[in-house]
Amino acid sequence: MDQTFCKKSGVIIIHIRSILPLLIIVLVIIPETVSSNTIGDIDHDLFDYVNKVDNGFLDSAMPIVQGMGDPKFYLAICAILSGFGNERMFETGKLASAAFVESGIIVFLMKESIGRSRPSDITEKDSFPSGHSTLAFTMATVAGNQYPKLRIPLYIGAIGTAFARVYLGRHYPSDVLAGAAIGTLVGIQISHFRNTIMEFSF
């Protein structure tokens, strides 16, 4: 059997094992915590407080700020970094792309299994966790590890994205907090396996 194939298969198995604790946290612990009555009441109260803020500047700015977590924007950044940048930018784009896949799978599984209604539309059963917040924090963590000087502004943008999703009535605070946790943990994990991921061709 090809040694390269065996090596890559072993790496994939190790990577899968490494995300099991993360899956347990995001699929079991976080949903159980959010479903408790006390946490749920606080969650709704915080949403009402933020969502009822009447501010013309925020009304105009938040739809733009939330763009950092938009999947199309995220993938566009990955494509630009991978296709037109230097070696470090290419590496960042590849790591961010891998993180996009992993965080996307986790968010999809949670949305489908939990089916929480959005605060602004109870017919939409995909509120928990926030996909925009997940991607924003994923990018902030991956890119921040690659470019430490940009870490603070990247996280400010990610926090702004999470706040915007609540302000615009698309998510409860717990949705964006869960997304932030998932994105950060996935970003840390992807950065940890940076050398291994760079060996793969995709």
Tens of pLDDT, residue by residue over 12-55, are: 444 445 555 555 555 555 555 555 556 667 888 889 889 888 89
Residue 16: the pLDDT is 46
Residue with tokens 């946490």: 39
* Structural contact between residues 125 and 117, judged by C-beta atoms closer than 8 angstroms: yes
Residue 179: the pLDDT is 94
Q: Which CATH number fits domain 3-198: 3.40.50.2020, 1.10.606.20, 2.120.10.30, 1.10.10.10?
A: 1.10.606.20
Beta partners for residue 121, in sequence order: 118
Q: How far is CA 146 from CA 37, 68, 96, 150, 187, in A?
A: 40, 18, 10, 9, 11
Model pTM above 0.85: no
- Say which residues have a Cβ less than 8 Å from residue 160's Cβ, sequence separation at least 6: 65, 66, 68
How would residue 163 be classed by pLDDT, with cut points 50, 70 and 90?
very high
- Averaged pLDDT score across all residues of the chain: 83
Domains of the chain, residue spans: 3-198
